[in-house]
C-alpha cells in the first residue's frame, strides 16, 4: 500500500466550478498535512496546510481533514484557468518528520 | 534574493560520470532535504539533514552521497551515473509549521 495515495487524473473542470481533490494516507500517526501546487517545469509551492480535523479555508481554497478515515481533501472554488497544475498531497509523520508526497493530481480548468 | 537555490539548473552527462548538485538556503532553517522527481512526476524523498546531521536516508543506492558542510548547505554527489538516474532533483528546506520551501530543481539527463 502506498503511503500517500492520490488519483493522478487528469481532473477536468469548467471555469468557475468547484474542483475537488482527494488524498488518503496509510500512517495513522501522521501529524501534518499539506497541499502543494506544481506548475509544469516548476518547483512545488505550498498552498494549504492543516493539522486538525475539520475544514480550513484560505481564499478560494479549503482543506479538509478526517483523521479517522485517513483522508485529506482540497476544494478549489471558482476555478480559474491559472489553477491548472498538478496538486501534490503531502503528509508528515515519524520522529524525524519525514514528508511523503502522493503522485499528484493533474487539474485542468477549461475556459 | 532566492530563498533556496540549486545549481546547476540543467546537467547533461554520460553514463559512468560523477557529478554534484549544490543547494543553499538563506532562510535560517535547520532541516534540508533532497527529493527526486521521476518521469511520472512522483516526488520521492532521498535524504534529510538536520543541522548537518543525516536524519533520513531512504533506500537510495550508495552511489548517492549527500554532504552538509553547514546547515545552510546540502550538496548531492552522484558516482557512476546510470540512465535511471535521469530525473529532476529538488532541494528543500523546512520552515516553521513544517512547511517545505523548494529550490528550482536540477534536471539531470544521463546519456
Q: Is the pLDDT of residue B96 over 90?
A: no
Measured in residues, chain A has a length of 111
Residue of B nearest to A48 (CA): B99
The 10s digit of each residue's pLDDT in A13-37 is 999 999 999 999 999 989 899 999 9
Those of residues 37-66 in A touching chain B at CB distance below 8 A are 38, 42-46, 49
Of A10-14, A54-58, B57-61, B89-93, minimum mean pLDDT range: B57-61
pLDDT of residue A98: 87
pLDDT of residue A45: 95
Those of residues 55-94 in B touching chain A at CB distance below 8 A are 55-56, 90, 94
Distance CA B77, CA B31 (A): 19
pLDDT of residue B30: 93
- The residue-averaged pLDDT of B78-107 equals 94
**Full DSSP string of A61-102:** EEEEEETTTTEEEEEESS--GGG-EEEEEEEEETTTTEEEE-
B77 falls in which pLDDT band (50, 70, 90)?
very high
- The residue-averaged pLDDT of B9-14 equals 97
Measured in residues, chain B has a length of 111
Residue B48 near chain A (CB below 8 Å): yes
Q: Is the pLDDT of residue A1 over 70?
A: no
The 10s digit of each residue's pLDDT in B40-59 is 888 999 999 998 899 988 87
The 10s digit of each residue's pLDDT in A54-95 is 999 999 999 999 999 999 999 999 999 999 999 999 999 877
The closest of A21, A45, A81, A36 to B104, measured between CA atoms, is: A45
CA distances from residue A99 to A83, A110, B17, B47, B110 in whole angstroms, order as listed: 24, 32, 30, 11, 27
Question: A86 or A96, which is more confident?
Answer: A86
Distance CA A104, CA B106 (A): 20
Q: Judging by DSSP bridges, how do beta strands A4-5 and A105-110 pair with one another?
A: unpaired
- The residue-averaged pLDDT of B6-26 equals 97
Say if residues A44 and A36 touch (Cβ distance below 8 Å): yes
Amino acid at each position: 500500500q502506498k503511503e500517500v495515495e492520490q488519483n493522478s487524473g487528469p481532473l477536468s473542470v469548467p471555469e468557475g466550478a468547484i474542483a475537488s481533490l482527494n488524498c488518503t494516507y496509510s500512517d495513522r500517526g501522521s501529524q501534518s498535512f499539506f497541499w502543494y501546487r506544481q506548475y509544469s517545469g516548476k518547483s512545488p509551492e505550498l498552498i494549504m496546510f492543516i493539522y486538525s480535523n475539520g475544514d480550513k479555508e484560505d481564499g478560494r481554497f479549503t482543506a479538509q481533514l478526517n483523521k479517522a478515515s485517513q483522508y485529506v481533501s482540497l476544494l478549489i472554488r471558482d476555478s480559474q484557468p491559472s489553477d491548472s497544475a498538478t496538486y501534490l498531497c503531502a503528509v508528515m509523520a515519524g520522529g524525524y518528520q519525514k514528508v511523503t508526497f502522493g503522485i499528484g493530481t493533474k487539474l485542468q480548468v477549461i475556459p | 534574493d532566492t530563498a533556496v537555490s540549486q545549481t546547476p539548473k540543467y546537467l547533461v552527462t554520460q553514463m559512468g560520470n560523477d557529478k554534484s548538485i549544490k543547494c543553499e538556503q538563506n532562510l535560517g532553517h535547520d532541516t534540508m532535504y533532497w527529493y527526486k522527481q521521476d518521469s511520472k512526476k512522483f516526488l520521492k524523498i532521498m535524504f534529510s539533514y538536520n543541522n548537518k546531521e543525516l536524519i533520513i536516508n531512504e533506500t537510495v543506492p550508495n552511489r548517492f552521497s549527500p554532504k552538509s558542510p553547514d546547515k545552510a548547505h546540502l550538496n548531492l554527489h552522484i558516482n557512476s551515473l546510470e540512465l535511471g538516474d535521469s530525473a529532476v532533483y529538488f532541494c528543500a528546506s523546512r520552515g516553521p509549521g513544517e512547511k517545505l520551501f523548494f529550490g528550482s530543481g536540477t534536471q539531470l539527463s544521463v546519456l
